Amino acid sequence: MSVLFISDLHLQVKRPDLTSAFTQFLIEQAPQATSLYILGDLFDTWLGDDAMDSLQQEITSQIKQLADNGTAVYFMHGNRDFMIGEHFAALAGLQLLNDPCIITLGDQPVLLSHGDQLCTADKDYMAFRQYIRNPATIQKLLSLSVAERIAMAENIRAQSQAANQAKTDEIMDVTLAEVEKLMAEHDVQWFIHGHTHRPAIHALTINQRPAQRIVLGDWDKKGWVLRWNESTGFDLIDFSL
C-alpha cells in the first residue's frame, strides 16, 4: 500500500475543474492508499468553520467518506486555509497536524511542512504571517460577521496580488539556509513541503548525509501527487485535470 501527499489545490467555486479533479482523485487514487496527507491550501480561502459554503461542505463530506472507507487523512494548515479548526476536522474525519511535524515512512523519519514560514526573504509576508496567525487576531476575525470576513479577505487578496507582482522569484521561494537548518535540527534526510508551486526533488547534504527536499506541485493546469511505498520510495507524479 502507498502513502499520498498533496497540497495547494486552492479549491474554489470559480474553478469547478479543480473540484472535479479532486473528487476523481478521492474516488480513484486515494482509496488505494493507507494514508493521505494534505499539506495546506486545500481551499483557496477559509473564513472559519462556521462559514463553509456549499462547495466546502461537499468536499468535507467526500473526505469523510474516504476516511470512513479506511484511508487515514491528515491535514496541515496552509497560508490560505489557516483558520480551519477542529469542527471541520471532525466533520471530515481527519486529523490536524502541527507545522512542522515528523512522520515515519518505513523506518525513516520524514519532516512535513506547508513551507510558507521558510520564505524568510519575503519580509513583508513574514510580518503579515506573524500578525494574521496570532490567536488573538484569529479570534477577532472569527468574531466578525461572515460578510465582513468576505470583504476583508477580498481586500487582503487584492493587496497581496499587487505586492507580489513587484517581488522576484527568489524572494517568494523558500530560503535554502532555513530549509537546511530545519532539517538539521530535526536530523532528517527527507523533507516534504508545498506552498511555492515549484514541484521538484532537490538533493541536499544534511548532517554530512545525503538528503532530499521534495516540493509538492499546485493544482492548476495539471494536478500533482507525491506517492510513497516501501519498495519504490518516492514518486512525484503529475496528471491532467
User: Per-residue confidence at 167, pLDDT binned at 50, 70, 90?
Assistant: confident
Q: Give pLDDT, residue 175.
A: 95
Q: Is 164 annotated for ligand binding?
A: yes
pLDDT for 192 beyond 90: yes
Average pLDDT, the chain: 95
Q: Give pLDDT, residue 228.
A: 97
Q: What percent of the chain has pLDDT over 70?
A: 100
SS (H, E, C) 40-63: CCCECCCCCHHHCCHHHHHHHHHH
Q: Is 114 annotated for ligand binding?
A: yes
pLDDT for 166 beyond 80: no
Q: Is 77 annotated for ligand binding?
A: no
Contacts of 66 (CB under 8 A, 6+ apart): 26, 30, 31, 36, 73, 93
pLDDT for 212 beyond 80: yes
* All three cell numbers of 62: 467526500
Q: What is the pLDDT of residues 6-15, one digit of tens each?
A: 999 999 999 9
Q: Give pLDDT, residue 170.
A: 79
Cell 515528523: give the residue. Answer: 102
Q: State pTM to two decimals.
A: 0.95
Contacts of 226 (CB under 8 A, 6+ apart): 4, 5, 6, 192, 214, 216, 234, 235, 236, 237
Q: Is 79 annotated for ligand binding?
A: yes
User: Per-residue confidence at 163, pLDDT binned at 50, 70, 90?
Assistant: confident
Lowest mean pLDDT among 18-27, 145-154, 188-197: 145-154
In degrees and rounded to multiples of 5, residue 80 shows phi and psi of: -95, -25
Which one-letter DSSP state was computed for residue 230?
Answer: T
Q: Is 98 annotated for ligand binding?
A: no
C-alpha–C-alpha distance, residues 5 and 12, integer Å = 20
Vertex 102: Cα angle to 59 and 138 (nearest 5): 55
Q: Is 160 annotated for ligand binding?
A: yes
Vertex 91: Cα angle to 86 and 93 (nearest 5): 90
Q: Is 193 annotated for ligand binding?
A: no
Q: Is 129 annotated for ligand binding?
A: no
- Please answer whether residues 147 and 110 qualify as being in contact, where contact means their C-beta atoms are separated by less than 8 angstroms: no
C-alpha–C-alpha distance, residues 7 and 216, integer Å = 6
Q: Is 186 annotated for ligand binding?
A: no
Domains for the chain: give ranges and CATH numbers: 2-240 (3.60.21.10)
Q: Give pLDDT, residue 145.
A: 95
Q: Give pLDDT, residue 162.
A: 81
Q: What is the pLDDT of residues 63-110, one digit of tens each?
A: 999 999 999 999 999 999 999 999 999 999 999 999 999 999 999 999
Q: Give pLDDT, residue 161.
A: 81
In this prediction, residues 141-166 reach a mean pLDDT of: 87
C-alpha–C-alpha distance, residues 96 and 199, integer Å = 24
Q: Give pLDDT, residue 169.
A: 76
Q: What is the pLDDT of residues 28-66, one digit of tens each?
A: 999 999 999 999 999 999 999 999 999 999 999 999 999
List residues bridging with 192 in a β-sheet: 112, 214
